[in-house]
Amino acid sequence: MLGLLWTNHDWEAGTLRLTHTVKRIKDHDKTSNHKTSLVLSESKTAKSQPTLVLTLEIMSKLRTLHADQAKARLAPGEAWQDHG
């Protein structure tokens, strides 16, 4: 779920293409208090990038989430960093 991007969602077709994954990698920064970091990366092959057909219930929940995120990004103004 962490690798989902809004740009991979087709609202009209009701589909979602899974193109990215989130990986935990070892943190080599000795000054960091963390041993690992989360990194978003693109899936390696076309076979590992399936397109899912979404139910009407899921589409409805995604529309609500998308609208909620649009409202939430107004609060921080220019400090908002959009990562899809």
E-assigned strands of the chain? 9-10, 15-17, 20-26, 36-42, 51-53
* pLDDT, one tens digit for every residue, the chain (84 residues): 778 889 999 999 999 999 988 888 888 777 777 788 888 888 888 778 899 999 999 999 999 999 998 888 888 888 877 776
What pTM does this model have? 0.68
Is 8 in a helix, a strand, or coil? helix
The Cα–Cα gap between 75 and 71 comes to 8
